[in-house]
Structure 1
């Protein structure tokens, strides 16, 4: 791969001051944080490597995000686990909107596609409190 596939060049209007390049890892982190802050998203789903890294104490903010730098532009795939009882289409649309807004504000990058993959449902865990009788 050439160096051009590893960074995202900003538009030429900024060229007078120098070159601005954004790494795909930065896009992953921003996308992951933007998706996780949407109400109804329980967690992001990573792969085996991110699971091992988190067990070793390394936090992966880009977990559950895949950035594709194709010939036709940039697309993002987001893998989320949704809370039980929420409208999946509504939450997925809010995830897309929040990612688009956040990336546009922080990086001025337009994406071709934001694909949301719902890979699971998080059921509410019930906590049972047992009271002991005190004499």
Structure 2
């Protein structure tokens, strides 16, 4: 599988699917038969004109015995940056209680970020709505 990761770096989903299918010696009809996905849908996925549903991704991943993450993301795309990866490795050395504290702190920071983001979106929506009311009144 490691050689597949090297070969498939920086590819779109459609390119990955085509290469994976050909690498396994399957035709589009063969992939359709193996996954239970209609051949026309397989053709749309490969053409890039359609995105697979979660269920279709599961079928493809099961057929090829790969993860859905591998189908969708490039190597390292979902991994933490190098500095965070080193810190997370260091956290593994901590006791269960200390790891629980680290997890709570990280979760708190994420919630704080999401709340701030949500508030800024809500504020932007409110100011946009107020601007529309003002525009409508001045007409």
The TM tier, using the shorter chain, reads under 0.3
Query: What TM-score does the superposition give when structure 2 sets the normalisation length?
Result: 0.22
User: Which has the bigger relative contact order, CA under 8 A and spacing at least 6?
Assistant: 1
Query: What TM-score does the superposition give when structure 1 sets the normalisation length?
Result: 0.23
Looking at CA atoms only, which structure, 1 or 2, has the larger radius of gyration?
2
* Higher relative helix content: 2
